[in-house]
């Protein structure tokens, strides 16, 4: 049974902690959960194997009061703000995990959300979704605690100049990035002319989840 809900804690750190807590017990409880949540006050979230000195400008973060956090999933560092829609997908771990296949449901989910707004997204790199040659979504996963946890983002309204200021250029990048700066590489729904409000985006996201995952229960609906 897949549980689908849209609920955000006040801060990114709290949302990450919620995901970890759910993943820790998924094997015992049999939890299959998809949760949509919004980023809060700006925070850099590093991948599980990254080190701060390699990916962020610590002095710039300190000046601006931007927290530097680490998530349990892999991938590269991202800037989280209130204009970033996130999803967290948690399931008990299968006997055999194909990492590439593990990204597919989340990528399909993001592409379905975009399609509802008339935007064509396509997979790029290892786990990105791109519009043309610009990134609008990144996805990361981990197999821990006998569970699979997948994190994904959708850039709705985002300040690439802030990302440029506090994030260093990644040491590894997908071929399609072509060494471009954050401001030239990232794109948002707002820049694409989609001006839907938060409640509309949430409704579209839940509808996309129904399409991709066919859940037996969506939070707020009767059984």
Query: pLDDT tens digits, the chain, 223 residues: what are they?
Result: 789 999 999 999 999 999 999 999 999 999 899 999 999 999 999 989 889 999 999 999 999 999 999 999 998 899 999 999 999 999 998 877 777 888 899 999 999 999 999 999 999 998 999 999 999 999 999 999 999 999 999 999 999 899 999 999 988 899 999 999 999 999 999 999 999 999 999 999 999 999 998 865 676 554 4
The per-residue b/e assignment along 125-156, b for 16 or more CB within 10 angstroms, e otherwise, is eebbbbbeebbbbbbbbbeebebbbbbbbbbb
How far is it between the farthest Cα atoms of the chain?
Answer: 51
**Helix, strand, coil share (%) of the chain residues, nearest 5:** 35, 30, 35
Contact predicate 71/48, CB 8 Å: yes
Q: Write down the residue that tokens 């710039």 correspond to.
A: 60
Among candidate residues 134, 139, 135, the one with its CA nearest the CA of residue 103: 139
**Alpha carbon distance 147, 101 (integer Å):** 15
Q: What is the DSSP letter of 10?
A: S
Supply the angle between the helices 99-116 and 198-213 in degrees, to the nearest 10: 130
**Alpha carbon distance 105, 215 (integer Å):** 13
pLDDT of residue 222: 45
**Alpha carbon distance 134, 124 (integer Å):** 9
Q: Which two tokens stand for residue 16?
A: 């990450």
Q: Which domains does the chain have, with CATH numbers?
A: 2-218 (3.30.930.10)
pLDDT of residue 37: 98
pLDDT of residue 148: 94
């Amino acid at each position: 049974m897949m549980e689908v809900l849209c609920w955000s804690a006040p801060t990114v750190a709290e949302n990450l902690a919620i995901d970890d807590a759910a993943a820790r017990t998924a094997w015992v409880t049999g939890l299959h959960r998809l949760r949509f949540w919004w980023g809060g006050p700006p925070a850099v979230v590093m991948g599980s194997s990254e080190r701060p000195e390699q990916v962020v400008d610590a002095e710039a973060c300190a000046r601006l009061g931007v927290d530097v956090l680490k998530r349990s999933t892999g991938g590269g560092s991202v800037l989280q703000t209130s204009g970033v829609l996130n999803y967290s997908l948690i399931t008990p771990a299968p006997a055999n995990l194909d990492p590439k296949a593990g990204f597919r449901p989340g990528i399909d989910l993001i592409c379905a959300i975009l399609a509802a707004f008339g935007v064509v997204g396509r997979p790029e790199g290892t786990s990105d979704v791109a519009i043309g040659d610009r990134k609008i979504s990144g996805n990361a996963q981990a197999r821990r605690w006998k569970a699979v946890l997948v994190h994904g983002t959708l850039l709705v309204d985002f300040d690439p100049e802030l990302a440029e200021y506090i994030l260093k250029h990644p040491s590894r990048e997908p071929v399609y990035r072509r060494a471009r700066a954050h401001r030239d590489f990232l794109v948002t729904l707002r820049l694409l002319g989609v001006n839907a409000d938060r409640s509309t985006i949430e409704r579209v996201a839940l509808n996309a989840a129904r399409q991709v995952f066919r859940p037996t229960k969506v939070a707020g609906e009767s059984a």
